[in-house]
Amino acid sequence: MPDATKVSRSEERRRAAALCAHLRLVEGLSVEEIALRVGRRPATIRGYLHDPDGVKARARKERYRGACEVCGAPTSGGDGPGRAHARCRRCSAAPRRRWDRGAVLAAMASWEARYGAAPTSYDWNATLARGRGAAGRRLRNGDWPTASTVTALFGGWGNARAAYSSA
């Protein structure tokens, strides 16, 4: 049974917006003064005053949604414009490939055959590869383990390279 004293987020927002509107209209306080009084940031107070029930914010986030690359279902738009998630909740929760040492060594061989040199830890680190142009494209064009997976399986990138060299 739900707790009768628990207030929903939407109800909490409506109450906070009503309080802010009262402080603004009746007491004539500025946004900054209201923020100090209620313990919220000025941007939050502005949001309450301009969108008391959150309808505008929900509509904006709805426009930011994308489509799941696997099943086509809508994805979250809560991270802002152009940052919709690539997969929906159901597909992102799907089991991902589990790498073992043999599969990593095979992936290293495949990388070397495709690109002419064994991969480096930078090549399989999405954050670092993204800033390196061609490295980011190469990482997206295949099924590669992450650098942290390789490190976890071999105890370090150097150990993985040594195992690959001796294989």
* Statement: the pTM of the whole predicted model exceeds 0.75: no
Domain-by-domain residue ranges, the chain?
A: 9-53, 64-94, 101-166
pLDDT at 52 over 60: yes
DSSP string covering the chain: ---TT---HHHHHHHHHHHHHHHHHTS---HHHHHHHHT--HHHHHHHHH-TTSHHHHHHHHHH-EE-TTT--EE--TT-TT---SS-HHHHTSPPPPP-HHHHHHHHHHHHHHHSSPPPTTTT-HHHHHTTTHHHHHHHTS----HHHHHHHHSSHHHHHHHHHH-
Q: pLDDT exceeding 90 applies to what percent of the chain?
A: 41
In contact, 78 and 64? CB cutoff 8 Å: yes
pLDDT tens digits, residue range 65-122? 889 988 899 988 878 888 888 888 888 776 667 899 999 999 999 989 988 988 888 8
Nearest to 24, CA basis, from 33, 14, 36, 15: 33
- Tokens 């500025």 belong to residue: 30
Most confident of 33-37, 52-56, 62-66: 33-37
CA angle (130, 131, 132) in 5-degree steps? 95
In contact, 101 and 145? CB cutoff 8 Å: no
Residue 155 to residue 105: CA distance in whole angstroms: 14
pLDDT tens digits, residue range 131-163? 677 777 777 777 888 888 999 999 998 999 999
Cα 141 from chain centroid (whole Å): 21
Count CB atoms within 10 A of the CB of residue 123.
19
Mean pLDDT of 52-64: 88
pLDDT tens digits, residue range 156-167? 989 999 999 887
